[in-house]
A and B are shown apart, each in its own frame.
Chain A
Amino acid sequence: MDFSFTREQEMVRKVVREFAEKEIMPRAKEIDRTGEFPWDNVKKMANADMMGIPYPKEYGGAGGDYISYIITVEEISRACAATGVILSAHTSLACFPIFQWGTKEQKEKYLVPLARGEKLGAFALTEPNAGTDAAGIQTTATLEGDHYVLNGCKIFITNGGAADVYIVFAKTDKSQGAKGISAFIVEKGFPGFSIGKIEEKMGIRGSRAAELVFEDCIVPKENLLGKEGEGFKIAMVTLDGGRIGIGAQALGIAQAALDEVTKYVKERQQFGRPIGKFQGLQWYIAEMATKVSAARHLVYYAAWRKENNLSYSMEAAMAKLFASETAMEVTTKAVQIFGGYGYTKDYPVERLMRDAKITEIYEGTSEVQKMVIASNILKM
C-alpha cells in the first residue's frame, strides 16, 4: 500500500498551486461579482499546457497522467471554482469522449486543438424535460444523405457559447429509449446552431450555463461520435470520469474554506483571545479537516483506479457524493465561524458556500450518485 504522490505529481501540485495563487485567485472575487467568462484564465491555463493534461502529446495533450489532471482541477478550484469547472468540463466531458470513441480523423481535427487549449469544449446532454432522466431527451437527429439534421434544445450547458466544440446527444431512433441516442461533434458555426438563454446563477458565476438551440442544424455524417445508438453509453461513461473532476472541484472549494478558517480563527479576537482558542470552534475545525481529508482520499482513490484501468464508476460516484456534500458542509461551517463577516462579500467564504452548492447538483445530483452506488452494491 502506498498513499504518496509521485515526485512528478508533487511538482505538478507545487507549480499549479503557485500559478493558481498568483494568476487565478486574485481575480476570483471580481469574476464572481460580474459573472464575466474568465477568458484571461482560460488563456493562461492554455499557455501552461493545462487544457489537455491526460491526453497523449500526439493529440495535443501534455502526455500526463490522470492524477496530475485531478490535482490541477483541485488546485485551480481552490483558487476559483468557476475556472475549475471550465477546465473540468472541457477536459473530462468534451475531450474525453473524442479521445475514447473518436476516429483518427476526429481526434486530429477536434482533440488536437482542444487539448492544446486553442479551442474550448462543452458537453450537451441536459434538456428542459430531461435532467436526471437523461434517456428522456427529445432532441432528434435525422440522417439525410451525407449529413444529420438536429432539432431540439439543451439547457444549463457549461461553457455554452464560449466553447468552439460541443459533444451533443440526440435521438437517432425515437422509438427507442436510451438505445436510440447518438453522440455528435458539433462546431460553433454549424448552420442552424445558436445560443439561447444564459443562466443567472447562484454560484460559479464566471462559468457559463447556456441554452443551445438546434433548428435544422446540419451536422456532417462524419461527425457522428461512435456508432448510432452508442450515445447513452458514451454519455454515462464520460460522466463517470467527469464526476472525479467535480469531486476534485468540490475538494478544492472545501480546502479553500478550511484554509480561510484556519487563518481567521487565529486573527479574530473575542473575550480577549483568538476565537481559535475556543474548544467549540476547535471541534468544528477538527471535523471539517477530517471530512476534507476523507474526501481527498475518495477523490484520489477514484482517480488512481481510472489511471490504473480498474473499474471506477462506483468509486467516482462515492467521491463526488462525499466531496460535494463535504464542500457544502465545510463552506457553511466556514461562514458560521466567520460570523457576521462571513455573511458579507468582504471575505471569500460566502462565495465558497454559493460555489459549493452546484457540486451536489451537476454531473448527477447526490441522489443520482446514491443510485449509482446502490446499483453497484445490490446488482438488482
Chain B
Amino acid sequence: MDIIVCIKQVPDTSEVKIDPVTKTLIREGVPSIINPEDKNALEEAIRIKEKYGGKVTVITMGPQQAEEALREALAMGADEAYLLSDKAFAGADTCATAKTLATMIKKLEYDLVFCGRQAIDGDTAQVGPQLAEQLGIPQVTYVKEIKIEGDSLIVKRILEDGYEVIKVKMPVLLTATKELNTPRYPSIKGIFEAYREKEVKIVTASELGIDPQEVGLKGSPTRVIATTTPETERAGEIFTGNVKECVQNLVQRLVEKHLI
C-alpha cells in the first residue's frame, strides 16, 4: 500500500504565550512541532506499512524550516518526504493549501491519503476535505479505527454522540483523530537514518508546474479583514471575607438578579 501523509509544522501551542498589548501569538522562541493529529495519521500509516508492506510518503507545504518536521517523520519510519516550499505559496488559505498539496499528490502513486483532523494553529479542519475534493476521491473524516479488507477500508468515525462505521473503496482520504493511536517516539536509529540515508525533496512552484496566481495569498479567496479578541462582556466579581459573609453576599446578588 502506498500511503501519503500530509503534515503541518505548527508552533507548540502548549508553550505559546499571547502578547498582552497586540493580543497576537508570540511566535518567537516557541518550538515547532508536527501537528499532533498529523502524528496520529503518520503513526497509522506506518503501522499499515509494517503490516501490509508498501511505502509512506510525507508531504508538507511550508517554509524551509519545515524540513525538521519531515525529518522527524522520516525518523518515525516514513520512507520519502517532500517539502513544498516557495515564496509563491506564502499566505495561503485552506483552499490554496489544498490546491498546492493536491498538485503534488497527483504526481504520486497512492492508495490512501492521510491528513490530521485539524491543525492546532489554523484550527479550521478544512484542508483534508478540500484536498479530497481536489483529488476527486472519497473522504472519511474524524477517523478513530481502520480495518483493511482487500481494496476497501472499514473505518470508524467519531461523532459527537457515538460513532459511524463506513466501508469505503481505496483510493480514499482520511483525517485522523488522536483517538486513532498513540504515536511512537522516533527511534534513535531512525533519527540517524532520517538525516544520513533518507532525503527531503524540496519542490518549488515551477517544479510543481503550478501557476503562481493560483496559490499562496493570490490564490486564496479568503480575505482577513481584521483580527480581534472577543470582548469580555460580563465582569466577574470576587467576594472576599469569611465564608458566611461571602455566602450572604452571593445570595443577595442572586436575588437582585432574580435568579433565585
- Chain A residues with CB under 8 Å of chain B are 6-8, 11-12, 14-16, 18-19, 47-50, 53, 57, 62-64, 68, 72
Q: Which residues of A contact B31 (CB under 8 A)?
A: 14
A64 touches B185 (CB 8 A): no
Known: A7-B71, A11-B72. A53 touches B195 (CB 8 A): no
CB distance from A330 to the nearest CB of B (A): 25
Q: Which of B185, B194, B195, B196 contacts A48 (CB 8 A)?
A: B185
Closest to A48 in B: B187
B188 touches A64 (CB 8 A): yes
B192 touches A8 (CB 8 A): yes
B68, B75, B186, B193 — most chain A CB neighbours (10 Å): B186
User: Would you list 26 pairs from A and B whose C-beta atoms are within 8 A, ordered by A residue?
Assistant: A7-B68, A7-B71, A8-B192, A8-B194, A8-B196, A11-B72, A11-B186, A11-B195, A12-B191, A14-B31, A15-B188, A15-B191, A16-B188, A19-B185, A48-B187, A49-B187, A49-B188, A49-B189, A50-B188, A53-B188, A62-B187, A62-B189, A62-B192, A63-B196, A64-B191, A72-B188
A48 touches B188 (CB 8 A): yes
Instruction: Give CA–CA (A72, B189) in the complex, Å.
Output: 13
Closest to A19 in B: B185
Known: A19-B185, A48-B185. A64 touches B71 (CB 8 A): no
CB distance from B257 to the nearest CB of A (A): 36
CB distance from A103 to the nearest CB of B (A): 25
B190: Cβ under 8 A from any A Cβ: yes
A64 touches B189 (CB 8 A): yes
Known: A49-B190, A62-B192. A11 touches B185 (CB 8 A): no
Instruction: Give CA–CA (A63, B192) in the complex, Å.
Output: 7
Instruction: Give CA–CA (A64, B192) in the complex, Å.
Output: 6
Given A8-B191, A63-B192, 16 further pairs, Cβ under 8 A? A6-B195, A7-B71, A7-B195, A8-B192, A8-B196, A11-B191, A14-B31, A15-B188, A48-B185, A49-B187, A49-B189, A50-B188, A62-B192, A64-B192, A68-B188, A68-B192
Instruction: Give CA–CA (A16, B154) in the complex, Å.
Output: 36
A11 touches B75 (CB 8 A): yes
Instruction: Give CA–CA (A62, B71) in the complex, Å.
Output: 17
Instruction: Give CA–CA (A225, B96) in the complex, Å.
Output: 64
Closest to A23 in B: B185
Q: Which residues of B contact A8 (CB under 8 A)?
A: 191-192, 194-196
Closest to B31 in A: A14
B68 touches A57 (CB 8 A): no
CB distance from B24 to the nearest CB of A (A): 25
Instruction: Give CA–CA (A63, B188) in the complex, Å.
Output: 9
CB distance from B169 to the nearest CB of A (A): 36
A11, A49, A50, A64 — most chain B CB neighbours (10 Å): A11
Q: Which of A7, A18, A19, A57 contacts B189 (CB 8 A)?
A: A57
B187 touches A11 (CB 8 A): no
Q: Which residues of A contact B187 (CB under 8 A)?
A: 47-49, 62
Cβ < 8 Å to A, chain B residues 179-203 = 185-196
B72, B188, B189, B192 — most chain A CB neighbours (10 Å): B188
Instruction: Give CA–CA (A63, B196) in the complex, Å.
Output: 10
Instruction: Give CA–CA (A88, B185) in the complex, Å.
Output: 21
Instruction: Give CA–CA (A12, B191) in the complex, Å.
Output: 7
Instruction: Give CA–CA (A163, B187) in the complex, Å.
Output: 23
A12 touches B188 (CB 8 A): yes
Q: Which residues of A contact B191 (CB under 8 A)?
A: 8, 11-12, 15, 64, 68
CB distance from A140 to the nearest CB of B (A): 40
CB distance from B219 to the nearest CB of A (A): 32
CB distance from B28 to the nearest CB of A (A): 18
CB distance from A245 to the nearest CB of B (A): 16
Q: Which residues of A contact B185 (CB under 8 A)?
A: 15, 18-19, 48
